[in-house]
Structure 1
């Protein structure tokens, strides 16, 4: 059997002398693995870079076997981000999360489209993509069944002054209801609130909000993914956070 699809390269590892095994997030077939014969050669090495958008043909005798990929270049996101260490680290983090969090061969077309949008935003607009990254991580959590409910207060039902998130339920909590439990709740940044006011924030406050948002999504990513896979380490995400914090402090 065989199928054709478009995909993003998540990982590529050498197999034998001349081949590579790749993982790709495809638009219609989800996260899939396959052998690329000759993938270690000079011509294919550039095509199989993490983050590149490619055309894929998968062939295999059985649907659950490894199978082989024929790969053709579509767009090189990796080379477009090469001169921007922060965006490159962010893309590596996003692609690593996709490879770690998604089950194999389960379609997630909306997440595929959102991932492409995120990569394109990194290439075009440095001012907005960090907040998009936080929203992308929220979308990833929703796709794997750990979506947060930030629409109204879990205690009062109000949609105003939502500043906390319950670490147990993933639901928003308003300032009044959450004040007695301030130290035990996660913080909700302004740009994720139902009526965001981040456009009126100072540049420093917006940077703080980005870090608060990443702390929020990071907590639930660890809860959703790492509790079930304790040997997995989110090294790429930690590198991204380190570079992001340094970049914020350098321009403060």
Structure 2
């Protein structure tokens, strides 16, 4: 059967002497694997369609599920600039691997696709990559069913000025419920404001924001804690990103 989908390349791997297998996050069909014959050859007309972060329209044959075989395609946005910048490539790779490991094969939902598309566009357009990525992480948590809550206490629903958040319990704790998680993290008002904003905001609405470096470092620790506790993924791209952060000026 012939399929036509709009998708983003979240993984690309060599297969045999001249072929590649790409994994697409699609708008209508979830996550799909597609074999691209001859993609490694110098004169291949499909080589550009297999590059990581590429958004395009893909037409492929597939029988009885499983791997498809590319027939033709057209690039919508290559995101060439992301592959040319080491730091941006690291952030984009993390976003794609995170989605790849979280999204089940052919799990339907355009939300995954629209948020990844917005993430890559945000990185391309010069928005603060760390803010873009942390907001994307929040959207992944929500889409996976582990979205934290910061508007009110996750235990009793009370609203107060408590500065405590619990990655284990999934959100904010009021002062009366603080004892339920001795390991709860105390955060500054700036970080709590960002977390509350991230909970409500669609990535497509993110504008250019300026956040102090110390606030971003604190935010990183909090989001890392939520990601580790709720998803527990060991991602190669995240380790590489952490190594790069040590040398970023």
Residue pair 1:155, 1:177 contacting (<8 A) in 2 also:
no
Name the Cα RMSD after superposition: 2.8
Cross-structure match for 2:26: 26
Which residue in 2 is equivalent to 1:45? Answer: 47
Aligned pairs (5 A) from 1:48-63: 48-62=50-64
Distance 1:61 1:68 in 2: 10
Q: Is the 8 A contact 1:51 1:76 kept in 2?
A: yes
Shift of 1:30: 0.6
Over 3 Å counting, the alpha-carbon distance change for 1:16 and 1:168 in structure 2 is same
Report what 1:204 is aligned to.
213
Distance 1:25 1:80 in 2: 20
Which residue is equivalent to 1:244?
Answer: 245
Q: Whole-Å Cα distance in 2 between the matches of residues 202 and 38 of structure 1?
A: 46
How many residues are treated as equivalent by the alignment?
234
Contact 2:134 2:220 in 1 (8 A): no
Aligned with 1:219: secondary structure?
A: helix
Query: Residues 69 and 177 from structure 1, CA distance in 2 versus in 1: closer, same or farther, beyond 3 angstroms?
Result: farther
Question: Paired residue for 1:192?
Answer: 195
The alignment's TM-score, normalised by the length of structure 2, stands at 0.81
Correspondence for 2:7: 7
Closer, same or farther: CA 187–95 of 1 in aligned 2, 3 Å? farther
Partner residue in 1 for 2:224: 215
Gaps of 5+ in 1: 227-232
